[in-house]
Chain A
Amino acid sequence: DVVMTQSPLSLPVTLGQPASISCRSSQSLVHSDGNTYLSWFQQRPGQSPRRLFYRVSNRDSGVPDRFSGSGSGTDFTLKISRVEAEDVGVYYCMQGTHWPPWTFGQGTKVEIK
């Protein structure tokens, strides 16, 4: 199984400041079809997960453009250019290249300092 490792696991940030979350996979996520199936999810307190990005950097509808996804191969990053209060929650990366199983990172908890 592909292991997804996120860092940091806890991220205190100041409102208006940038934030960055790293996600590394135990093997390359480049599929034989040429796509890289790496997604990012946000889970606000008490809510269901919501997908933010698919195939590394494709933003889902309604996701603010202060969020960006990047990376390739085994190293991926989710960035928030200026953190807002509504961004508090846990963020997960997930690979869908080598399935089954689809595997998630441990989650990164973003909180306001």
Chain B
Amino acid sequence: EVQLVESGGGLVQPGGSLRLSCAASGFTFSSQRMHWVRQVPGKGLVWVSHINSDGSGATYADSVKGRFTISRDNAKSNLYLQMNSLRAEDTAVYYCAGGFDNWGQGTLVTVSS
């Protein structure tokens, strides 16, 4: 059974940092392009970042470029999102997705003072 389990969300002050993790199992993680997608509660889905299967390439939405960094550890089947200089508008549920055919349950990030 494919599983993606996010962790690391929580409450952080504006300007702060947070690192999200996504633990993958049930599929060949090292062969799968991975994404982070976020969703403000009650709103639509917004793509945030992607990383290719071997970690050699990544892309970002303009809204997070220069502040967020995606990475992966294929030996541990883990995906990460390092979020720096957080803003109120980054408040959302963050999902990791494997090729968009499998999604985690999401982790809530709240940026507030």
Contact = CB atoms under 8 A, between A and B. Distances in A.
Nearest to A100: B59
A41 interface: yes
Given A92-B44, A100-B59, A107-B45, A54 B101 contact: yes
**Interface residues on chain A, size class:** 20 to 34
A68 to B, nearest CB: 18
A100 B61 contact: yes
A39 B44 contact: no
B75 to A, nearest CB: 26
B46 A48 contact: no
Given A101-B47, A103-B47, A96 B59 contact: no
A48 B105 contact: yes
B23 to A, nearest CB: 15
Nearest to A37: B100
A104 B61 contact: no
A51 B101 contact: yes
A66 interface: no
Nearest to B49: A100
Contact of B101 (A60, A99, A106): A60
A43 B44 CA distance: 10
Interface in A66-113: 90, 92, 94, 96, 99-107
B56 to A, nearest CB: 16
A49 B95 contact: yes
A96 B95 contact: no
A54 B99 CA distance: 11
Given A41-B100, A51-B101, 17 more contacts: A43-B45, A48-B103, A54-B100, A92-B45, A94-B45, A100-B50, A100-B59, A100-B60, A101-B61, A102-B47, A102-B50, A102-B100, A104-B45, A105-B44, A106-B44, A107-B44, A107-B45
Interface of B: 35, 37, 44-47, 50, 59-62, 95, 97, 100-101, 103-106
Interface of A: 39, 41, 43, 48-51, 54, 60, 90, 92, 94, 96, 99-107
